[in-house]
Amino acid sequence: MHRSASRLTRVLACAAVPVILTVAGCSSDSGKESGSNGEKKSGSSSSAKPNPKSSKTLEKPAFSALPDPCKALATATIDTLVPEAKDKAGAAPKSNDLATRASCAWNGLDEDGLKGSQYRWLSLSYFRYDSQATLGDASKRAEEQYNKEVEAAKTAEGAQGPKAEAVGEVGDQATSVIYAVKKDNNDHYNTTVVARTQNVVITLDYNGAGLEGASAPDHAKLLQDAISAAKEAVTSVGAANKAPAEQPQSPQPQ
């Protein structure tokens, strides 16, 4: 009788073990989630560390718009650089977008009878950049494009003896690149001026040639004219971003 009672006590004790474990499992903190390894994870997002890159404040772009490139240079400038231009209003591609990039070009042939003809070609392009978290500040992006434009001018196809020089007093930075190109047995002298003003890059290409026995153009004069036009193109960027002048208030009726 004593042995039977002892055995019954052991059976009841073993049967109670899973019940106790089940209760203990249900009594865990319901306010926290458990991970796959059994560790508790906090339900608060405030413990997450901020990403230092995402918290960087980007600069506000200095310029938000571009000038119309076909109107960025004065008519007198076009007359000087491209005498007898086919279209003084210039030719612009349909892809022009004054928010980001735009260009315009002029060309003309100034004929002088038996003395031959002088050919001139002028192109003006604008590139504008915004600040982006993944790409950087607007002015930094513009500086990268500026360097690409200078390198492209120095490595232009067929360029003979390209020479690059820094140009002062044209935007925040500017470089001129001059070289000669042989086309149809004629020497074409090319001048490229690349300038940057804040978040806008300006590329001005200007070339000329003497045709039908005409003397070759003065390369120093081409360069001087190109730099003057580039200065004008930079000024047009600032003018395109000026706030409209306040209009005078009309007197109120008494």
Q: How far is CA 207 from CA 84, 119, 221, in A?
A: 15, 8, 11
Task: Give which of 228, 197, 224 is closest to 208, Cα–Cα.
Answer: 224
pLDDT attached to residue 10: 52
Torsion on CA atoms 189, 127, 227, 84, rounded to nearest 10: 60
When divided into structural domains, the chain yields a total of: 1
pLDDT attached to residue 245: 61
Task: Give which of 242, 254, 174, 187 is closest to 219, Cα–Cα.
Answer: 187
Q: What does the block give as tokens for 10?
A: 């052991």
43 falls within a domain: no
15 falls within a domain: no
Which residue type, as a one-letter code, is found at position 153? Answer: A
178 falls within a domain: yes
141 falls within a domain: yes
148 falls within a domain: yes
Q: What is the CATH number of the domain that holds 92?
A: 3.40.1000
pLDDT attached to residue 83: 94
pLDDT attached to residue 56: 77
pLDDT attached to residue 49: 58
Which residue type, as a one-letter code, is found at position 79? Answer: D
193 falls within a domain: yes
171 falls within a domain: yes
194 falls within a domain: yes
In whole angstroms, how large is the CA radius of gyration of the chain? 36
Domain that holds residue 144: 75-240
Task: Give which of 139, 135, 105 is closest to 120, Cα–Cα.
Answer: 105
Torsion on CA atoms 89, 95, 101, 107, rounded to nearest 10: -30
Q: Mean pLDDT of successive 10-residue segments in the chain (254 residues)? A: 48 43 41 46 49 72 98 97 96 96 97 91 98 96 98 95 97 98 89 98 97 92 98 98 62 46
